Amino acid sequence: MTTKLASTVRPLGTTYFLVILSAGLPLACLLGLAVGAVPIAPTDLFTAVLGNSETQAATIVLDIRLPRVLLAAVTGANLALCGAAMQGLFRNPLADPSLIGVTAGASLGAAIAIVAGAHYLQGFGALGVVSLGAFIGGVIAVLFVYRLATTDGGTSVATMLLAGIAITALAGACSSLLEFFADNALLRRISLWKMGGLDGAGTRELWLGTGITVVLCLSLPRYAKALDALLLGESEARHLGVAVPRTKLVLVVLVAVGVGTSVALVGTIAFVGLVVPHIVRLLIGPRHQGLLPASALTGALLLVMADLVSRTAIAPTELPVGIVTALLGVPFFISLLRQRHHYGMQP
């Protein structure tokens, strides 16, 4: 039993794991470009990517699939990074970015925009209003949660968690109330938004999503040592020289902007921020210096493959990618939890 347990929990080398992910992600993106309702031959794919073709294949690859695949990659990296940061902040590997209310607030903001404003707009204008509403809703929810958890003595992580649960419940109730009064067309739009989808991917969405993800990739690793110290407790982190209140505030703001942008661009995509950092932590260990970049690459890879499944599982009809991530992620995650329980391990 001891040997079996050791072989189960022995982490992989971080560098080795990052190399595997760095090689696997481009291959997954190429697969996402080639496979779909209209298969693209490898020669046509590379010709289109190099920009030397004006064929139908080039139009499909460059105008439809390429923005979608790249947006899936940056969104997956965004959500996984935010999940890893939240799990470090809450000192719980089962934490999720939605714990601070950003996902529920963004969903409520999108629902309000759909019912109140987007009904009178057409085309991209409607999408822009809904995205803006989602982003504003997510940021407001997080600011409210943070304010509730902050007193003269500092910001309590436990209070932030409870406030996030309360705000999530309130936002969910308000969203349900809007759905109750919405007509069938608006109700369907709200429901589809909450399921998440990459079908609206375009150049503008891609640039915005990429910009926010780059900011997260550059900012969050700077707090890797602080997150490692927070795993020991706030008092120990202070003794190690970590500015705990400032670190909490910066992490919450970055996660709010990251997840709020994600929901604004593609709707609610479940489970990526929860399952990806947890799996990566099992594979390479808990140090955030390796955990954060590995989570970003794994999240990008997971969402690219999930989007591929959503486009091909019942082609030509597309499944919402949020449903696919849950259907793929939940069974795998449950198997991991059962394995940990079987060997007497704690999360």
CATH number of 220's domain: 1.10.3470.10
| pTM of full prediction above 0.85 | yes
How far is 205 from 223, CA to CA, in rounded Å?
Answer: 28
Q: Is residue 119 predicted with pLDDT exceeding 60?
A: no
Residue 298 lies in a domain: yes
CA dihedral of residues 231, 235, 238, 243 (deg, nearest 10): 70
Average pLDDT of 151-155?
73
pLDDT of residue 229: 92
Evaluated on CA atoms 286, 289, 291, 294, the torsion sign reads negative
Residue 266 lies in a domain: yes
Q: Is residue 147 predicted with pLDDT exceeding 60?
A: yes
Give tens-digit pLDDT for 159-214.
Answer: 888 888 899 899 989 988 888 888 888 888 888 878 888 887 888 889 999 999 99
Across 59-68, 147-156, 286-295, least confident range: 147-156
Q: Is residue 27 predicted with pLDDT exceeding 90?
A: yes
Across 66-80, 186-200, 230-244, 254-268, least confident range: 186-200
Name the domain count of the chain: 1
Residue 179 lies in a domain: yes
pLDDT of residue 73: 95
pLDDT of residue 72: 94
pLDDT of residue 5: 35
Evaluated on CA atoms 304, 310, 312, 315, the torsion sign reads negative
Residue with the bigger pLDDT between 139 and 156: it is: 139
User: Which residues fall within 8 angstroms of residue 320, CB to CB, at 6 or more apart?
Assistant: 192, 195, 196, 197, 267, 310
Residue 198 lies in a domain: yes
pLDDT of residue 139: 87
Give tens-digit pLDDT for 276-304.
Answer: 998 898 888 889 999 999 999 999 999 99
Instruction: Check if the beta carbon of residue 100 is closer than 8 Å to that of residue 142.
Output: yes
Phi, psi for 155 (deg, rounded to 5): -110, 120
pLDDT of residue 89: 87
Residue 337 lies in a domain: yes
pLDDT of residue 343: 40
Evaluated on CA atoms 276, 277, 279, 283, the torsion sign reads positive
CA dihedral of residues 281, 297, 84, 229 (deg, nearest 10): 70
Residue with the bigger pLDDT between 157 and 11: it is: 157
Domain containing residue 95: 2-342
Token pair 């927070």 is found at 230
pLDDT of residue 184: 83
Residue 347 lies in a domain: no
